[in-house]
Structure 1
Amino acid sequence: MKVEDLKAYIETGILELYVLGDITPDEKLQVEAMALKHPEVKAELDAIELSMELYAKENAVEPSEKLRGRILGSLLINLGDDNNLTAAPKHEESTEYEEDNIVTLPARKENNFYKYAFAASFTLLIASSIALVNVYGNLKESKDQLIAITLDRQKIANNVNLMDKELIVLRDTSYKIIHLKGTAKTPASVITLAFSPAKKKVVLDMANMQMPKNDEAHQYQLWALVGGKPVDLGVFDAKGDTANIKEMKSIASADAFAVTLEPRGGSVNPTLDQMMVIGKF
């Protein structure tokens, strides 16, 4: 066979497949015949096998003692199963070659490539799993931080909006300031509100309110007295609101304002013996 033909045969990749054991029985016999007949093929086979063993050794990762024991135990069980399956009598090969100078190659030495490759792959799998767990943890932490930042920004935005409303009330001359003073029931109580008939708005000063703290079963209810009749303007909690001001229900006119203590959610009519503060417009 010409040198060019030998080179082309070597470059087909069949020698690498032979070393990996990934060829048919006929191809295997053909490669062994070529290796016996042509020293170049034999030398290339040896070089491929050596390079693969070196690569496997170079990239192998030493597993822990605990992991090594588990892997070796699994291999021993698998080898025991293989021995049971291969215990049947072997059939002698009947294939013969008529070409001259062709004899059977001696048995190849044990190939350790798969052993090292398995160990390296298994260790890489474990390392990848650990890396994925770490990535997941980092992503969850980043998500929690993002949620916290978003909540903080929302809180800041709400505070800015409230401050804008406060400034609007202070600068708007249509608002009139009314001080609701405590009754005989709670003489020390004081509530200040701003009322704009033109804009039909009533705003409570929550920051400077002086009222007893209501329990979970009750709330304070603001009333506007219009022509001697009470009109519901909404409920609120003393010391429960974090906002500095609280906008109540709209009303165009009022003769006076009063606050009573009512069941949570408010009442249709005010409980007069629970009147806490009152002030005229």
Structure 2
Amino acid sequence: MEKTYILDNGLLELYVLGELNANEQAQLETAIAKHPELKLQLDTIEANFEKMALENAIDAPKEVKSNVLNTISKSSTKTVFIAPQKSLRPYLNIAASVAALLFIGSIYMFSQLNNTKKQLQLVEQENKKLNSNIENLNNYLMETNKWYVAINDPDVQKYVLTGNALMPEATVISYVNNEKKSVVINTKYLPKLDDEHDYQMWADVEGKMINMGVIDKNKDMLAMNYIDNAESLNITIEPAGGNDHPTVSQLITNIYLN
């Protein structure tokens, strides 16, 4: 039996535990006698198991100790024959088995604890995601309700701005409330622009164009600045971020107010 085979297959441990058959045990003992390093490792393993057995030992009941002392006292004049010390291997086997069960149980409990922690983390993540979705939905509903109330006010006047020859596909719906001094527009049907340009809305007051604000590319419904005495609404294409005056050549739609 080769030394490498013995070490790779843990035969020394199995030998200490008494798990080898007679033939394997005989071969192993021959190899141990041949290789001193195997004998040294075997002694180390037996010492470790013995230490484990002592660490896990259970103290004997007090009455056992009393009985032993009484027996010794009564037979103090008699010759006591001490039986040859028995091998510790059976006890080591038991201790090793108990330790193995405890170790396996610890691993199982640790694994279960980790799995439980992971499941709790997943549940917590799902709860956070659900709460976030609920919050987003509530915000959306509140936003939608706000626009619904604004555009359905009895004082609102609706104007549809259609695109001109420069951008015939453009359509913007404007809701003007002169009583509450508010302007809301729906830009859902306004073509998307590149990052270098923005739409900007203007109010014409006695021939002067007044800025109503840059149209947000990321929103379909938005409130614009209300301008008193506006005669018309106009939308132009301007450099990103808006302009301080309208680029007339980039006017895409306008409508006169009543």
Q: d(CA) in 2 for partners of 1:222 and 1:185?
A: 16
Deviations 1:125-171 (A, max 9, x none): 22123223322321232223223322322232233223322431343
Q: 1:212 aligns with which of 187, 191, 215?
A: 191
Q: Which residue of 1 aligns with 2:232?
A: 256
Paired position in structure 1 for 2:161: 180
Instruction: Look up the match of 1:228.
Output: 207
Structure 2 counterparts to residues 7-86 of structure 1, below 5 A: 20=57, 34-35=67-68, 37=70
- State the alpha-carbon separation in 1 of the partners of residues 59 and 210 from structure 2: 92
What SS is found at the alignment partner of 2:193?
Answer: coil
Runs of at least 5 residues in structure 2 that lack an aligned partner in the other structure: 1-53
- Cα RMSD of the aligned pairs, angstroms, is 3.5
Partners of 1:18 and 1:221 lie apart in 2 by: 83
Query: What do the CA deviations read for 1:2-57 (whole angstroms, capped 9, x no partner)?
Result: xxxxxxxxxxxxxxx9992669xxxx9x965732635xxxxxxxxxxxxxxxxxxx
The verdict on how the C-alpha distance between 1:237 and 1:214 changes in structure 2, with shifts beyond 3 A counting, is farther
Amino acid at match of 1:218: H
Distance (Å, rounded) in 2 between the aligned partners of 1:32 and 1:108: 21
> Which residue identity is paired with 2:113?
L
Runs of 4+ in 1 over 4 A off after TM superposition: 30-33, 102-109
SS in structure 1 of the partner of residue 148 of structure 2? helix
Q: Which residue number in structure 2 is paired with residue 134 of structure 1? A: 115
Query: What is the alpha-carbon distance in structure 2 between the residues aligned to residue 275 and residue 34 of structure 1?
Result: 113
Over the matched positions of the two proteins, sequence identity in percent amounts to: 25
Number of aligned residues: 197
TM-score with structure 2 length normalisation? 0.62
**Structure 1 residue 204 displacement after superposition:** 0.7
Contact in 2 for aligned 1:200/1:253 (Cα 8 Å): no
**Does the C-alpha gap of structure 1 residues 280 and 105 become closer, same or farther in structure 2, counting only changes over 3 Å?**
farther
Q: Does 1:197 align with 2:178?
A: yes
Consecutive unaligned residues of structure 1, counting only runs of 5 or more, are: 1-16, 39-96
TM-score normalised by the chain length of structure 1 = 0.58
What displacement does 1:230 show?
2.7
Match of 1:101 in 2: 75
1:199 and 1:252 in contact (8 A); partners too: no
Deviations 1:189-230 (A, max 9, x none): 2211001122221111234x2x32211222212222233333
